[in-house]
Amino acid sequence: METPSLFSPPLYMQRHQFVVEFVKSCDPRKVMDLGCADCSLLRKLKFHRHGIEVLVGVDIDCAAIRQRAHALAPLSSDYLQPSPRPLTIELYQGSVTEREPYTRGFDLVTCIELIEHLELWEVERFSDVVFGYMTPCAVIISTPNAEFNPLLPDLKGFRHNDHKFEWTRTEFQTWALGVCRQYGYSADFTGVGEAPDPDRGVGFCSQIGVFRRHADVSNAPMNNTLQEPTVYRLLYKVVYPSLCDNNIFQRILVSEVLYMAESLKRQWLVDKQGKQTDFTSRVHGLPSGEALLDDSRVELNAERNAIMLPDENEVEEEDEVEKDECEEGESALRPMKDGAEEDWETELG
Amino acid sequence: MSAEAVLQISAGFQQVKIGERGGRRRDFHDAGVHTRQLMEHVKESKTGVSGSSIELRANFMRLLSRPQWALYQYHVDFKPPMESRRLRSALLFQHDETLGKARTFDGALLFLPHRLHNTTVLCSETRQGERVQITVTLTNELPPSSPVCLQFYNIIFRRILRMLNMQQIGRHYYNPDDPLNIPQHRLTIWPGFVTNILQYESSIMLCTDVSHKVLRSETVLDFMSTLKQHCGDQRFPDACTKELVGLIVLTKYNNKTYRIDEIAWDHTPNNTFKRGDTMISFKDYYKTQYGLEITDGNQVLLVSHVRRMGPAGAPPPGPALLVPEFCYLTGLTDKMRNDFNIMKDLAAHTRLTPEQRESRLNRFITNISKNAEAQNELSTWGLSFENKLLSLTGRVLPAERIIQGYNPWTADWSKEMRGLPLISSMPLESWLMFYTRRNGDVAHALLQTLNKVAGPMGIRMQRASLLRALQQNVGPGTQIVVVILPTNRKDKYDCVKKYLCVDCPTPSQCVVSRTLSRPQALMTVATKIALQMNCKMGGELWSIEIPVRPLEDVLVLFRCNLCISFCFYRWFSKCVLQSRGQEIIDGLKVALKAALKAYWKYNNCLPSRIIVYRDGVGDGMLQSVVNYEVPQIMQSIKTMGEDYAPKLTVVVVKKRIASRFFARIDGKLSNPPPGTVIDTEVTRPEWYDFFIVSQAVRMGSICPTHYNVVFDSSGLKPDHMQRLTYKLCHMYYNWQGIVRVPAPCQYAHKLAFLVGQSIHKEPNINLDDFLYYL
């Protein structure tokens, strides 16, 4: 376990920041996070979107996904000012050791603190699925650096009980380079969470490998993927409003044009009138106010406005009240007969 | 009945609440305020009898659940104890086959729609391989109408609204996929729904009404810079504060709404705040946290005092500082409200006729029943909704005799008023009219027309003295002052009102010259002015019969600055300004005393009956009205003398409600006629309450008013209570028709508005006998 005070900002945030920086520099379009758990990296990427258009999270634990999935929904402001680029977020329940045709052709796949939860034989499968089947352009894999462990206070055994192994830098890099050779990738090694000065030699607390596919290795043939059965289960999908949607684009465009036209008109009227500030000269701009005077039911009011609709009409966003025009009264509504004197007091008994 | 009894009314109502994400919430449904059981005369029945019955439809739908449905509440214990709530859920939910799919768990309480054994012991294993023993103990079987169940239905329903891709803004849900745009003003309107599920008279029902949210697709920063252009650097801070404070904003990076309370003129995004244990500037924070770039580093920040409690009842966090660039405005500003064009455009979109409203509601129901996910959620819990609106029977009260020949369907007698003599008119002998030289013509025209219309009404009118300076001319003998204002500038109006209400108590009538500028309309305008002048001087325009002897007295309480209007065919108003934090009772005592003294002055006795209409009670405030205000009213009455014990009735009046009623008239769904009373089905069993539709509307759907009698020692029959309330809606002299609330409430509202907006001081007591604030 990482003690929170050891790193600032906390290590998990540094890992996420690392991915954000990578996204910023490489501008991937389709990004998938394997082992997304509570979707915290996806939430982060949703804000630091840059060029991302498809954001996918996969985890084997569907309860974890379900719990926080709604946090990925668009915000009200996403509707008010739709972004120029589309964004779709999807969450799947599935295993990283299974071949899912949908996962092919991504630009970036991230596996943050994932592989150490797999048994070593599963790591084999994982390498084959991610590098050999999904064949994304880039992969970011982070895993604990076992050499750092002596620096963590009170740590016995692994950092987390579910960890099946924790690799030293050499072990990680050996595995990584093996993968690179086999599937046509090249890897760079770095990490986050530097050790304090005297122990700098042990490396980062979390080691990170950034894999890039060799340009000359073509994408695996896509045609046969169509026949393969899907094995992941879609748990959540949301399409963000964007200007790429024609309806939205038209609506926004029309709104903006009309608003600009209105502003220009207003500006023009002001310029034309020069410095005149007299109220009466302005009222020409308010034709509907004038028209109201025709209504015999206008309320003359002692408020600052001369004419107001009846003040029962507190028009909020709600519809409300106005008056007028007779319909034929029903018999039920006829006034009581004059003779019918009433006395509630005596009825009380 | 004693004050202790009142205090007991809702004491002891402390039940478990289902924990909700994000800490505590106020109970907006006022559940658990049981007032009816303490009023002997309405225990059996609270329905009236008079009037003719009418078939109505209401925006309610019954909640259907399978027979013997109940919610089972369990306590869940972990051994060894587990700290994290998430871990606890994960461990518990490993037992799908035992618990089933429908479940709600907040870390300690588990709710299931089916019964397990009294004690169930489950074993789970953490990822670390630690074995945990979970004991699930049945603690409660909750019938469908129990408060927890109701709260639970509402939570489920909100979940369903989210599944329909609706966005929560404030307390309600709106549909962002189907917006209406008013581009001229950059307004976006989202249609949505107000929903609540409650135990109503006969069954548990979902009440749902169409609601609209006005949003603006411009940020506060855009708004500020436009404002700056318009009013210049000098006036900008003032104008900005005036426009922005009180508005609700929506942020770009989360779905929360904030109310702008202040503007921090000395803060910019470059300022830093403490985050964890490092200092970070707003600029860097938003950059790293949300990838949002602040383009204008010089913008001032907005301050919002967050009142909501933190999680687990922790005190609310300090004020939030917001960056204008990341805040969208919602709602309308006062300036927009006063703009006819905007309001007209808005009304076109948001005023729905009864038929349109019904079809929106029906579409909503269909959407829920078509959505597989939502249906799945409902069916796992064994719930469903009746897919049609509730039918019920209401009554239309007989119309009041006010003026011969008036048509009750219109709820308006302004046409019939013209040329009729008034009940009592004040001779106009000494009055003044002020105008500027430019407005000389309109002033003369008004004068002539006033003479013309005043004759038939029975107002005698002397030649007016035409003078210009108030101070020089208004003396103790002046009955009324008419001021023709050249523009509708508020400061001028305020200054006139302030002088004439506080320093030199004289009724006054202000008219903006533009109103008088159209000869065609002058007749109408002058009639209204004449009527208004008459009642400001103490005249009576029309009257209703109230068949109770001795004369009925009606008092009304209104919000914090307190007004009492008081009717025995005369009106008396007292406004007591209240400073923040001051007990209501102080002002109440003063006002009540003054009102009773005035009553004594005219009748030589004290009233035997006092009815209080309490307006302005928000959602969730009923409890405090019952627990604190009612005893305080009783206490205030006590101070008038030990042996003075009038009969007291306290009625809470609510205008903003979601209930709507439609009547089928000539095969068309339309608004129910004025005088429609609804006191069955959709009322609440624990209250003595009823709805009255008192107005008629030309556009849109009518909104009924809800009356809740929270205390009544008068023994008046429900029928009479309803009739009296309706009668009082006829008595607002500023409107020749029926208003939405009893006239005292309307008067109090008007007085409070005048004092709050213009005078800011307690008006002179010499004016208390007049309706000077109309």
Residues 6+ apart with CB under 8 A from B451: B461
Strand pairing category for B71-79 and B109-112: antiparallel
Torsion of CA B452, B456, B459, B464, to 10 degrees: 10
**Contact across the interface for B54 and A332, Cβ inside 8 Å:** yes
pLDDT in tens, B359-399: 989 889 888 888 888 898 888 888 888 888 899 999 998 88
Residues in chain A with CB shorter than 8 Å from the CB of B408 are: 329, 333-335
| CB atoms B696 and A258 under 8 Å | no
Residues of A in contact with B696 (CB under 8 A): 323
Q: pLDDT per position in chain A (349 positions), as tens?
A: 444 457 777 888 899 999 999 999 999 999 999 988 888 899 999 988 888 999 999 998 877 777 778 888 888 888 888 888 899 999 999 998 888 888 888 999 999 999 998 988 889 999 999 999 999 999 999 999 988 888 887 777 788 877 888 999 999 999 999 999 999 999 999 999 888 877 788 888 999 999 999 876 555 555 555 567 888 988 888 999 988 888 888 888 888 888 888 888 888 888 877 654 444 333 333 333 333 333 333 333 333 333 333 333 333 333 333 333 333 333 333 444 444 455 565 555 4
pLDDT in tens, B238-289: 888 888 888 889 888 888 888 898 898 888 888 888 877 788 888 888 888 8
Mean pLDDT value of segment B334-341: 79
CB B381 within 8 A of CB B156: yes
* Closest chain A residue to B90, measured at CA: A63
pLDDT score for A21: 92
In 3D space, the residue among B588, B598, B613 whose CA is nearest the CA of residue B741 turns out to be: B613
Of B160 and B433, more confident: B160
Mutate to test the interface with A, among B654, B698, B727, B749 (most CBs of A within 10 A): B698
- Quote the pLDDT of residue B404: 59
**Run of H or E residues at B240:** helix B220-244
Distance from the Cα of B67 to chain A's closest Cα (Å) equals: 31
CA separation for the pair B22, A307 (Å, rounded): 46
The burial of B661, by beta-carbon neighbours within 10 Å (0-12 exposed, 13-18 middle, 19 or more buried), is given as buried
- Which residue type, as a one-letter code, is found at position B551? L
CA distance B13 to chain A (A): 32
Q: Which residues contact B409 (CB under 8 A, 6 or more apart)?
A: A326, A327, A328, A329, A330, A333, B673, B674, B696
Return the percentage of chain B with pLDDT > 90, whole number: 7
d(CA B174, CA B165): 9
CA distance A39 to chain B (A): 14
Whether B416 has a pLDDT exceeding 60, the answer reads: yes
Looking at the partner chain, which of B93, B400, B409 has a beta carbon nearest the beta carbon of A329?
A: B409
Q: pLDDT by residue (tens digit) across B667-697?
A: 888 899 989 999 988 999 989 999 999 888 8
Instruction: Write out chain A residues lying below 8 Å of B276, CB-based.
Output: 8-9
Place of tokens 């009240």: A321
Q: Return the structure tokens found at B172.
A: 């309600």
Q: Do A343 and B415 touch (CB under 8 A)?
A: no
Helix (H) or strand (E) holding B211: strand B204-219
Vertex A133, ends A131 and A138: CA angle to 5°?
40
Alpha-carbon gap, residue A42 to A70, rounded angstroms: 12
DSSP state of B461: B
Which chain A residue's Cα is nearest to B217? A80
Which one, of B717, B664, B81, lies nearest residue B358 by Cα? B664
Q: How close does chain A come to B168, measured CA to CA in Å?
A: 8
Q: In what order do the strands lie in the sheet with A138-144?
A: A185-192, A206-213, A138-144, A108-112, A30-34, A54-59, A88-93, A233-239
Question: Which residues of chain A does B439 touch, with a Cβ-Cβ cutoff of 8 Å?
Answer: none
**Rounded to an integer, what distance in angstroms lies between the CA atom of residue B581 and that of residue A263?**
45
Instruction: Note whether A300 contacts B255, CB cutoff 8 Å.
Output: no
Mapped onto helix, strand or coil, the DSSP state of residue B392 is strand
Residue B142 has what pLDDT?
86
Q: Which two tokens stand for residue A238?
A: 């949301």
CA–CA gap between residue B204 and residue B183 (Å, rounded): 42
Task: Provide, as residue numbers in chain B, all residues whose Cβ is less than 8 Å from the Cβ of A347.
Answer: 717, 720
* Phi, psi torsion values for A77, nearest 5 degrees: -70, -25
Mean pLDDT of chain B: 80
Checking phi first, is residue B521 left (phi over 0); if not, alpha (psi -120 to 50) or beta? alpha
Strand partners, A206: A144, A192
| Six-digit token string for B623 | 């409890």
What is the band of B9 on the pLDDT scale with cuts at 50, 70, 90? very low
- Whole-angstrom distance, CA of residue B773 vs CA of residue B770: 8
* Cβ-Cβ contacts under 8 Å for B375 (sequence gap 6 or more): B368, B369
Helical packing angle, A169-183 and A120-127, nearest 10°: 30
Contact B176 A292 (CB under 8 A): no
pLDDT per position as a tens digit, B212-222:
888 888 889 98
Least confident of B44-48, B58-62, B66-70, B222-226: B66-70
Query: In terms of CA atoms, which chain A residue is nearest residue B527?
Result: A300
Q: Cβ contact (<8 Å) for B521 and A329?
A: no
**Across the interface, which of B186, B289, B720 has its CB nearest the CB of A344?**
B720
Q: Is the pLDDT of residue B139 over 70?
A: yes
Rounded distance between C-alpha atoms, residue A108 and residue A28, angstroms? 6
In the DSSP assignment, the letter for residue A133 is I
Higher pLDDT, B487 or B201: B201
Nearest to B757 by CA among B488, B506, B493, B515: B493
Mean pLDDT of all residues in B395-413: 76
Q: How far apart are CA A96 and CA B130, in angstroms?
A: 25
Cβ within 8 Å, pair B401-A336:
yes
Selected residue with higher pLDDT from B292 and A227:
B292
Asked if the model's pLDDT at residue B637 lies above 70, the reply is yes
**Region of residue B465 (left: phi > 0; alpha: psi -120 to 50; beta: else):** beta
The reported pLDDT for the residue numbered A4 is 44
By residue count, chain A amounts to 349
A293/B518 Cβ within 8 A = yes
Query: What residue in A sits closest to B516 (Cα-Cα)?
Result: A306
Q: Which residues of A touch B101 (CB under 8 A)?
A: none
Cα–Cα distance for residue pair B53/B393, rounded to 1 Å: 6
Place of tokens 């899912």: A100
Whole-angstrom CA distances from A83 to A51, B413, B570 are 11, 55, 63
> Are A243 and A83 contacting, i.e. CB atoms less than 8 angstroms apart?
yes
CA max distance for chain A:
107
The answer to whether B127 contacts A161, with C-beta atoms less than 8 Å apart, is yes
CB contact at 8 A, B156 and B149: no
- Specify the pairing of strand B661-665 against strand B327-330: unpaired
Sign of CA dihedral A234, A240, A243, A249: positive
Are A63 and B700 inside 8 Å of each other by CB? no
Chain B residues in contact with A237 (beta carbon < 8 A): none
**Opening angle at CA B116, ends B110 and B118, nearest 5:** 90
DSSP letter assigned to residue B399: B
pLDDT given at position A342: 57
pLDDT of residue A277: 44
- Of the candidates A341, A131, A337, A63, which has an alpha carbon nearest to the alpha carbon of residue B103? A63
Distance of alpha carbon B338 from alpha carbon B351, whole angstroms: 18
The reply to whether the predicted model has a pTM over 0.95 is no
Q: Are A50 and A22 in contact (CB under 8 A)?
A: no
pLDDT of amino acid A332 = 36
Residues B744/B556, Cβ–Cβ less than 8 Å: yes
Determine the pLDDT at residue B648: 86
What is the rounded distance in angstroms from the CA atom of residue A232 to the CA atom of residue B51? 66
Cβ–Cβ under 8 Å, residues B281 and B271: yes
CB-nearest partner of B408 from A80, A329, A345:
A329
Strand partners, B214: B189
Nearest CA in chain B to A255: B183
The Cα of A316 is separated from the nearest Cα of chain B by a number of Å equal to 8
Q: What are phi and psi of B204, to 5 degrees?
A: -80, 130
- β partners of residue B483: B434, B510
Please report the pLDDT score of residue B582 as a whole number.
65
Mean pLDDT of B130-154: 85
Looking at the DSSP bridge assignments, the partners of residue B105 are B110
The CA angle B544-B751-B584, to the nearest 5 degrees, is: 105
Give the span between the Cα atoms of B534 and B764, in whole angstroms. 20
Residue type, A140: I
Q: Is residue B506 pLDDT above 60, yes or no?
A: yes
Q: For the CA atoms of B39, B42, B44, B47, what is the dihedral angle to 10 degrees?
A: -160
Asked if A80 and B188 come within 8 Å (Cβ–Cβ), the reply is yes
Q: B737-770: b or e for each residue (b if 16 or more CB lie within 10 Å)?
A: bbbbbbbbbbbbbbbbebbeebbeeebeeebbeb
Region B714-732: what's the mean pLDDT? 86
Alpha-helical runs (H) found in B25-79: 40-43
Cβ separation B183–A79 shorter than 8 A? no
Q: Say yes or no for a CB contact (<8 Å) between B86 and A67.
A: yes
Residues of chain B with C-beta less than 8 angstroms from the C-beta of A74: 176
Question: What's the residue count for chain B?
Answer: 774
Label residue B331 left, alpha or beta by phi (over 0 means left) and psi (-120 to 50 means alpha): left
> Does the distance separating the beta carbons of B399 and A280 come in below 8 Å?
no
Query: Alpha-carbon distance A322 to B699, whole Å?
Result: 6
Q: What is the DSSP string of A159-213?
A: SSTT-S--B-HHHHHHHHHHHHHHHTEEEEEEEESPPPGGGGGG--SEEEEEEEE
Residue of B nearest to A239 (CA): B165
> A75 and B255 in contact by Cβ < 8 A?
yes
**Cβ of A79 and B521 within 8 Å?**
no
- Amino acid of residue B425: S
Choice among A22-26, B402-406, B766-770 with the minimum mean pLDDT: B402-406
Residues of A in contact with B668 (CB under 8 A): none
Q: Which of B358, B402, B512 to mutate to test the interface with A (most CBs of A within 10 A)?
A: B512
With vertex at residue B139, the alpha carbon angle to CA B137 and CA B145, rounded to the nearest 5 degrees, is: 140
Q: Which residue would you say has higher pLDDT here, B45 or B482?
A: B45
Q: Helices B85-92 and A62-69 meet at what angle, rounded to 10?
A: 130
Of A136-140, B588-592, B657-661, B741-745, give the lowest mean pLDDT range.
B588-592
Determine whether the interchain pair B673/A79 forms a contact, defined as Cβ–Cβ distance below 8 Å: no
